[in-house]
Amino acid sequence: MTLTFHKYQGTGNDFVLLDDRSQQFDVTDYCLVRHLCDRRRGIGADGLILLRNHPGYDFEMVYFNADGYLGSMCGNGGRCTVAFARHLGVMQEKTRFLAADGAHEAHIDAAGLVHLRMQDVLGQQEIDELGVFLDTGSPHLVRFQPASTLAELNVVVEGRAIRNSERFRDKGTNVNFVESPVAPDQPWQVRTYERGVEDETFSCGTGVTAVALAASRRGAVSPVRLRTPGGDLQVAFEARPDGSFSQVYLSGPALRVFGGQVDV
Protein backbone atom coordinates (compact mmCIF):
# COMPACT_ATOMS: atom_id res chain seq x y z
CA MET A 1 0.00 0.00 0.00
CA THR A 2 1.20 3.50 -0.83
CA LEU A 3 0.36 6.39 1.51
CA THR A 4 0.44 10.05 0.53
CA PHE A 5 1.70 12.05 3.49
CA HIS A 6 2.46 15.61 4.50
CA LYS A 7 5.07 16.65 7.05
CA TYR A 8 4.31 19.70 9.23
CA GLN A 9 6.08 21.33 12.14
CA GLY A 10 5.07 23.85 14.78
CA THR A 11 8.10 25.34 16.54
CA GLY A 12 10.02 22.15 15.88
CA ASN A 13 7.28 19.81 17.11
CA ASP A 14 6.83 17.72 13.94
CA PHE A 15 4.05 15.50 12.64
CA VAL A 16 3.13 13.20 9.79
CA LEU A 17 -0.32 14.25 8.54
CA LEU A 18 -2.61 12.07 6.44
CA ASP A 19 -5.77 13.07 4.60
CA ASP A 20 -7.97 10.22 5.79
CA ARG A 21 -11.39 11.60 4.89
CA SER A 22 -12.07 8.25 3.22
CA GLN A 23 -11.29 6.60 6.61
CA GLN A 24 -9.13 3.83 5.19
CA PHE A 25 -6.35 4.07 7.78
CA ASP A 26 -6.47 1.33 10.42
CA VAL A 27 -6.34 3.18 13.76
CA THR A 28 -5.43 -0.08 15.54
CA ASP A 29 -2.24 -0.57 13.51
CA TYR A 30 0.15 0.89 16.09
CA CYS A 31 3.13 -0.82 14.41
CA LEU A 32 2.51 1.17 11.21
CA VAL A 33 2.18 4.45 13.12
CA ARG A 34 5.38 3.68 15.02
CA HIS A 35 7.16 2.85 11.75
CA LEU A 36 6.06 6.07 10.03
CA CYS A 37 7.23 8.14 13.03
CA ASP A 38 10.60 6.35 13.22
CA ARG A 39 13.37 8.83 12.39
CA ARG A 40 15.69 6.19 10.95
CA ARG A 41 13.38 3.70 9.23
CA GLY A 42 10.33 5.84 8.47
CA ILE A 43 9.43 9.46 7.77
CA GLY A 44 10.25 10.66 11.28
CA ALA A 45 7.97 12.66 13.59
CA ASP A 46 6.86 13.27 17.15
CA GLY A 47 3.41 12.00 16.20
CA LEU A 48 1.00 11.10 13.40
CA ILE A 49 -2.32 12.83 12.73
CA LEU A 50 -5.31 11.79 10.63
CA LEU A 51 -7.65 14.43 9.26
CA ARG A 52 -11.10 12.85 8.98
CA ASN A 53 -14.66 13.94 8.28
CA HIS A 54 -17.02 14.24 11.23
CA PRO A 55 -20.69 15.33 11.25
CA GLY A 56 -21.20 18.81 12.66
CA TYR A 57 -17.53 19.83 12.37
CA ASP A 58 -15.21 20.93 9.60
CA PHE A 59 -13.04 17.90 10.37
CA GLU A 60 -11.82 15.58 13.10
CA MET A 61 -8.20 15.37 14.26
CA VAL A 62 -7.09 11.87 15.30
CA TYR A 63 -3.70 12.01 17.04
CA PHE A 64 -1.19 9.21 17.64
CA ASN A 65 1.95 9.46 19.73
CA ALA A 66 5.23 8.30 18.21
CA ASP A 67 4.90 5.06 20.20
CA GLY A 68 2.01 4.16 17.87
CA TYR A 69 -0.89 4.57 20.25
CA LEU A 70 -3.76 7.03 20.24
CA GLY A 71 -2.88 10.08 22.31
CA SER A 72 -4.62 12.86 24.15
CA MET A 73 -4.83 16.44 22.86
CA CYS A 74 -1.74 17.83 21.14
CA GLY A 75 -1.64 21.63 20.92
CA ASN A 76 1.04 22.04 18.27
CA GLY A 77 -0.45 19.09 16.42
CA GLY A 78 -3.81 20.83 16.49
CA ARG A 79 -2.31 24.00 15.03
CA CYS A 80 -0.57 21.96 12.31
CA THR A 81 -3.82 20.15 11.52
CA VAL A 82 -5.57 23.50 11.09
CA ALA A 83 -2.86 24.61 8.64
CA PHE A 84 -3.19 21.25 6.84
CA ALA A 85 -6.97 21.67 6.63
CA ARG A 86 -6.51 25.00 4.88
CA HIS A 87 -3.96 23.42 2.54
CA LEU A 88 -6.62 20.83 1.62
CA GLY A 89 -9.31 23.48 1.20
CA VAL A 90 -11.35 22.10 4.11
CA MET A 91 -11.43 25.54 5.75
CA GLN A 92 -10.21 29.06 5.05
CA GLU A 93 -9.44 31.43 7.94
CA LYS A 94 -11.70 30.00 10.66
CA THR A 95 -12.65 26.49 11.70
CA ARG A 96 -14.33 24.35 14.32
CA PHE A 97 -13.05 20.80 14.65
CA LEU A 98 -13.14 17.79 16.94
CA ALA A 99 -10.14 16.39 18.83
CA ALA A 100 -9.56 13.84 21.59
CA ASP A 101 -10.60 16.29 24.31
CA GLY A 102 -13.62 17.74 22.53
CA ALA A 103 -14.43 20.61 20.19
CA HIS A 104 -11.92 23.35 19.33
CA GLU A 105 -12.07 26.61 17.43
CA ALA A 106 -9.14 28.11 15.55
CA HIS A 107 -8.26 30.79 13.06
CA ILE A 108 -5.27 31.71 10.91
CA ASP A 109 -4.27 35.36 10.83
CA ALA A 110 -2.82 37.42 7.98
CA ALA A 111 0.73 36.56 9.06
CA GLY A 112 -0.02 32.83 8.88
CA LEU A 113 -0.01 32.26 12.65
CA VAL A 114 -2.49 29.71 13.93
CA HIS A 115 -4.53 30.66 17.00
CA LEU A 116 -6.04 27.58 18.63
CA ARG A 117 -8.59 27.79 21.42
CA MET A 118 -7.84 25.21 24.08
CA GLN A 119 -10.32 23.77 26.55
CA ASP A 120 -11.06 25.65 29.75
CA VAL A 121 -8.72 24.51 32.52
CA LEU A 122 -10.24 23.85 35.93
CA GLY A 123 -7.21 24.77 37.97
CA GLN A 124 -3.80 23.64 39.16
CA GLN A 125 -2.69 21.24 41.83
CA GLU A 126 0.47 21.57 43.88
CA ILE A 127 2.46 18.30 43.87
CA ASP A 128 4.76 18.63 46.87
CA GLU A 129 8.29 19.50 45.81
CA LEU A 130 7.73 18.27 42.25
CA GLY A 131 5.84 21.33 41.01
CA VAL A 132 2.36 22.14 39.71
CA PHE A 133 0.05 19.72 37.90
CA LEU A 134 -2.50 20.82 35.27
CA ASP A 135 -4.56 19.13 32.58
CA THR A 136 -4.61 21.26 29.42
CA GLY A 137 -6.03 18.50 27.22
CA SER A 138 -3.02 16.40 28.21
CA PRO A 139 -1.60 15.96 31.72
CA HIS A 140 1.36 18.21 32.56
CA LEU A 141 3.64 18.69 35.50
CA VAL A 142 5.29 22.13 35.58
CA ARG A 143 8.53 22.41 37.54
CA PHE A 144 10.15 25.82 37.98
CA GLN A 145 13.94 25.76 37.88
CA PRO A 146 16.48 28.00 39.63
CA ALA A 147 17.88 30.77 37.43
CA SER A 148 20.48 29.77 34.83
CA THR A 149 20.01 26.02 35.29
CA LEU A 150 17.63 25.09 32.46
CA ALA A 151 20.18 25.00 29.64
CA GLU A 152 22.33 22.39 31.37
CA LEU A 153 19.47 20.29 32.76
CA ASN A 154 19.26 16.66 31.60
CA VAL A 155 15.59 16.82 30.64
CA VAL A 156 15.42 13.20 29.50
CA VAL A 157 16.78 11.76 32.74
CA GLU A 158 14.83 14.11 35.02
CA GLY A 159 11.62 13.97 32.99
CA ARG A 160 11.64 10.20 32.60
CA ALA A 161 12.12 9.73 36.34
CA ILE A 162 9.07 11.88 37.12
CA ARG A 163 6.96 10.40 34.31
CA ASN A 164 7.62 6.88 35.64
CA SER A 165 7.39 7.78 39.33
CA GLU A 166 4.87 6.02 41.53
CA ARG A 167 2.49 9.00 41.42
CA PHE A 168 2.32 9.10 37.61
CA ARG A 169 3.29 5.57 36.55
CA ASP A 170 -0.20 4.32 35.63
CA LYS A 171 -1.24 7.09 33.22
CA GLY A 172 2.02 8.96 32.81
CA THR A 173 2.50 12.70 32.55
CA ASN A 174 4.38 15.20 30.46
CA VAL A 175 7.01 17.16 32.39
CA ASN A 176 7.86 20.81 31.74
CA PHE A 177 10.96 22.45 33.17
CA VAL A 178 10.69 26.24 33.30
CA GLU A 179 12.96 29.20 33.89
CA SER A 180 11.52 32.60 34.72
CA PRO A 181 12.39 35.56 32.45
CA VAL A 182 15.33 37.72 33.49
CA ALA A 183 13.42 40.87 32.49
CA PRO A 184 9.70 41.68 32.03
CA ASP A 185 10.02 41.88 28.25
CA GLN A 186 11.70 38.46 27.98
CA PRO A 187 9.90 35.13 27.41
CA TRP A 188 9.59 32.24 29.86
CA GLN A 189 12.03 29.46 28.89
CA VAL A 190 10.54 25.97 28.60
CA ARG A 191 11.87 22.47 27.93
CA THR A 192 9.51 19.49 27.84
CA TYR A 193 9.72 15.73 28.27
CA GLU A 194 6.75 14.17 26.44
CA ARG A 195 5.11 10.88 27.31
CA GLY A 196 4.38 8.78 24.22
CA VAL A 197 7.50 10.17 22.57
CA GLU A 198 9.45 9.31 25.75
CA ASP A 199 12.02 11.97 25.01
CA GLU A 200 12.51 15.71 25.01
CA THR A 201 10.75 17.42 22.11
CA PHE A 202 11.61 20.76 20.56
CA SER A 203 8.26 22.14 21.69
CA CYS A 204 4.95 21.09 23.25
CA GLY A 205 1.76 23.13 22.78
CA THR A 206 -0.26 21.75 25.68
CA GLY A 207 2.95 22.01 27.71
CA VAL A 208 3.55 25.71 27.16
CA THR A 209 -0.16 26.27 27.82
CA ALA A 210 0.25 24.58 31.20
CA VAL A 211 3.39 26.62 31.89
CA ALA A 212 1.66 29.93 31.10
CA LEU A 213 -1.25 29.13 33.40
CA ALA A 214 1.03 27.96 36.20
CA ALA A 215 3.22 31.04 35.72
CA SER A 216 0.20 33.28 36.30
CA ARG A 217 0.66 32.52 40.00
CA ARG A 218 4.15 33.91 39.68
CA GLY A 219 3.21 37.20 38.10
CA ALA A 220 2.85 36.25 34.44
CA VAL A 221 0.17 38.33 32.71
CA SER A 222 -1.81 37.26 29.64
CA PRO A 223 -0.68 37.00 26.91
CA VAL A 224 2.41 35.08 28.03
CA ARG A 225 5.39 34.68 25.70
CA LEU A 226 7.23 31.38 25.93
CA ARG A 227 10.44 30.19 24.29
CA THR A 228 11.06 26.52 23.55
CA PRO A 229 14.10 24.96 21.84
CA GLY A 230 12.06 25.01 18.62
CA GLY A 231 10.82 28.60 18.76
CA ASP A 232 8.42 31.04 20.40
CA LEU A 233 4.75 30.57 21.27
CA GLN A 234 2.16 32.70 23.00
CA VAL A 235 -0.65 31.76 25.37
CA ALA A 236 -3.55 34.08 26.19
CA PHE A 237 -6.16 33.36 28.87
CA GLU A 238 -8.69 34.75 31.32
CA ALA A 239 -8.11 33.80 34.96
CA ARG A 240 -11.30 33.25 36.97
CA PRO A 241 -11.72 33.96 40.70
CA ASP A 242 -12.20 30.23 41.40
CA GLY A 243 -8.71 29.45 40.06
CA SER A 244 -9.85 28.11 36.70
CA PHE A 245 -8.99 29.53 33.27
CA SER A 246 -11.15 30.28 30.23
CA GLN A 247 -10.62 31.76 26.76
CA VAL A 248 -7.29 29.92 26.57
CA TYR A 249 -5.57 30.42 23.21
CA LEU A 250 -2.31 28.86 21.99
CA SER A 251 -0.75 30.85 19.13
CA GLY A 252 2.24 30.32 16.89
CA PRO A 253 3.49 29.16 13.48
CA ALA A 254 2.52 25.89 11.79
CA LEU A 255 4.42 25.15 8.60
CA ARG A 256 4.35 22.48 5.91
CA VAL A 257 7.85 21.05 5.52
CA PHE A 258 7.40 18.61 2.63
CA GLY A 259 5.10 15.91 1.28
CA GLY A 260 5.46 12.66 -0.58
CA GLN A 261 4.50 9.03 -0.79
CA VAL A 262 5.68 6.07 1.23
CA ASP A 263 5.19 2.35 0.65
CA VAL A 264 3.97 0.50 3.72
Catalytic residues: 74, 204
Q: What is the 3-state secondary structure (H, E, C) of the chain?
A: CEEEEEEEEECCEEEEEEECCCCCCCCCCHHHHHHHHCCCCCCCCCEEEEEECCCCCCEEEEEEECCCCECCCCHHHHHHHHHHHHHHCCCCCEEEEEECCEEEEEEECCCCCEEEECCCECCCEEECCCEEEEECCCEEEEEECCCCCCCCCCHHHHHHHHHCCCCCCCCCCEEEEEECCCCCCCCEEEEEEECCCCEEECCCHHHHHHHHHHHHHHCCCCCEEEEECCEEEEEEEEECCCCCEEEEEEEECCEEEEEEEEEC
